Amino acid sequence: MALAPLNLTDEDKLQLAKMANTLRFLCADMVQRANSGHPGAPMGLADIATILSLYLKLDPANPSWLNRDRVIFSGGHASALVYSLLHVWGFEISKEDLMQFRQLDSKTPGHPEYKHTPGVEITTGPLGQGIANAVGMAFASKYAQNLLGKELISHNVFCFCGDGDLQEGISYEACSLAGLHNLENLVVIYDSNGISIEGAVQKAFNEDIKGRFIAQGWEVLECDGHNFSSINTALVRAINAKKPSIIIATTTIGKGALSLEGNHKTHGTPLGGDIIAQAKSALGFESSAEFIISDDVALRFLNVKEVGALAHYEWQKLLTPDTQALIDSMLDTSNITYPTYQKGQSIATRVSNGEILNAIATSLKGFLGGSADLAPSNNTELKGEQDFPNGRNMHFGIREHAMGAICNGIANYGLFLPFCATFFVFSDYLTPSIRVASLMKTRVMYVFTHDSIGVGEDGATHQPIEHLSHFRAMPNLLVFRPCDANENIACWQVALQHHTPSVFVLSRQNLEVVCDSPNTEAVAKGGYILQESTLDSQNPKLTLLASGSEVKLALDSQQALEQQGIATRVVSVPCFELLLAQDRAYKQKLFGTSKVMAIEAARGLEWYVFADDVVGMESFGASGKGETLFARFGFSVDNVVQRAKALCL
């Protein structure tokens, strides 16, 4: 049934104005007290946020309720408004928290952070991420609706964005997919104030936004962002739309700030005490009072909490035992049956990974994802599954940037464990989203194939060199580079035990299975003794460290070195970060007093944490057969033996 717009009387509009101005001055006071922050966008959006409050379904007492509306501020610089709204809506954000805006260890950091502030749905900051995250949440809700039904999944996804978000290319990628899949519960509110940090937006941006979104299959609406009737009409039409909708809201940055209204300086600079006092006085507020919320305003905003609590209560009555059991099982990893591989078998880790993905999907109903148009090469198709939204195979097209952010939104939705895939060299396009996922400790699984110069004939443009070092340097991210199919299984088993994002870096070329079976306990430590020295197992002279395809090279080199009398141990390191986290005693057990050499077909500078020497890449790759390139760049038994002898003798 279509939502009917509220009939706003003149008295209603007076009350709404008081509510909006209360938000404005809360935001201005927060920024002023911190002497840091962004008052402009929050003050410009206060009227729209006030009207939106009339239509929301949120339950602050149960902020993870599945059928809640999602509210995302893509422009994280509107954080003062985010925190003000969460406070007046009844979330666990006190007035004292507002007063601690941007201070160390407060609940109100400079940009919104997921899991840090109750009610914040996702970490935003880099422009464009939030709107793509909102698309991800709408993706998740569409599939959830197919699983659970339209009665149980009936919420909306609201996203505030600005000119900066729409200038970033990620927004175009994500919104294109939203239009393709007709994500009708997605409502984007575009704060069109015409101002950026450098001044007028038209200096660098004059697109026909209406035309852009019509071309992408969206419902496009327009409103005066300071006229309550206009906002109300547009918002209800957007909620009722049968396609994703965007409201182009014409606003004034710094609305209410008197002489500073519309000035680009309000974007990121406190207004000043005198301006705030004069503005308060002009709008009927006590000029010297700070952080004031009158009782009538507080009660009106708390209607969000009351309406949401009732909606949640009614929703719970719809849950059947079978439906609750399905929800509870969505992320249960306890019954996965993995494929088996025999030692000596030859199989690329991208191929074994495809089989592992399918094994996980068979048991884990919340496991879904896809590739940036590379599923046949990444081996990411889930067999027997339909395409999204009727199934779990997602086709992101050549939109790596948006793919990463969409998966963050899917993960934070609460029902699903998403994966996404591309060639490792193109992980550069996902880096901003992976960084945000790592900040949030949000579980997204990244499948990156074609992991090294082994790509061969495609040449240097397709051969990742610095990428392993880059991701290994990122906190809260586990990077797995398995040496074979059995170690690949163990890597997945370990990753599924961690509540962080994980990266799987996989070979295109076939690799011999060198592990007898998946050794999950050993892989959980990041590195382990794969092959002990036959000459001196207690005190080898040399320890070879390697990951991925170079582990077999290490094993072959060990054999050659021991034939020349150099006692050598081989340590496989599928996860550098987990090894780095082990205690000194465990590392001593691996390395002893031996010399240590690392082998990896990448830049590899991080290996010097453990190693005395690193056989790695000192340049970009080249075009040629993979085996020829390995020989050209020193990944051969002869070179490893020569370097090892120089190190040990």
Active site residue 173: no
**Interval 182-200 mean pLDDT:** 95
Using alpha carbons, list the distances in angstroms from residue 351 to 216, 330, 354, 369, 508: 35, 25, 5, 17, 8
* Binding site feature residues for thiamine diphosphate: 77, 125-127, 164, 193, 267, 426
**Is pLDDT at 450 greater than 70 in this prediction?**
yes
- Looking at domain 525-648, its CATH architecture is 3-Layer(aba) Sandwich (3.40)
Question: What confidence score (pLDDT) does residue 1 get?
Answer: 61
Q: Which residues are annotated as a binding site for Mg(2+)?
A: 163, 193, 195
**Residue 476 contacts by C-beta under 8 Å, 6 or more apart in sequence?**
438, 439, 441, 500, 501
**What pLDDT, on the 0 to 100 scale, is given for residue 2?**
80
Average pLDDT, the chain: 97
Q: Which residues are documented as binding site?
A: 38, 77, 125-127, 163-164, 193, 195, 267, 350, 377, 426, 450, 458, 462, 508
Which residue positions form the known binding site for substrate?
A: 38, 267, 350, 377, 450, 458, 462, 508
Residue 62, pLDDT above cutoff 90: yes
Q: Please state the rounded mean pLDDT for residues 111-116.
A: 96
| Region 496-517 average pLDDT | 97
The structure's pTM equals 0.97
588-603 pLDDT, tens digit each: 999 999 999 999 999 9
The model's pLDDT over 244-267, given as tens digits with 9 standing for 90+, comes to: 999 999 999 999 999 999 999 999
What percentage of residues in the chain have a pLDDT greater than 70? 100
Average pLDDT over residues 73-83: 95
Express each pLDDT in 564-588 by its tens digit: 999 999 999 999 999 999 999 999 9
Q: What is the pLDDT confidence band of residue 347, given thresholds at 50, 70 and 90?
A: very high
| pLDDT per position as a tens digit, 269-280 | 999 999 999 999
Cα(350)–Cα(370) distance, integer angstroms: 14
The domain made up of 10-316 has a fold known as Rossmann fold (3.40.50)
Q: At what angle do helices 40-52 and 10-34 cross, to 10 degrees?
A: 140
**Residues contacting 537, CB < 8 A, separation 6+:** 569
CA distance 368 to 77: 32
Enumerate the domain spans of the chain.
10-316, 345-520, 525-648
Burial class (CB in 10 A: 0-12, 13-18, 19+), 339: middle
Model pLDDT for residues 120-167, shown as the tens digit of each residue: 999 998 999 999 999 999 999 999 999 999 999 999 999 999 999 999
Tell me phi and psi for residue 196, to 5 degrees: -130, -175
Predicted pLDDT at 125: 85
Of 355, 400, 562, 600, the active-site residue reads 400
Q: What is the mean pLDDT of residues 374-400?
A: 97
Tell me if 10-316 shares its fold with 525-648: yes
* 345-520 placed in CATH 3.40.50.720: no
First-to-last alpha carbon distance for the chain, in angstroms, is: 82
Alpha helices in 243-320 (DSSP H): 273-282, 295-301, 303-316
Tell me how far CA of residue 74 lies from CA of 39, 82, 198, 401, in angstroms: 16, 11, 20, 15
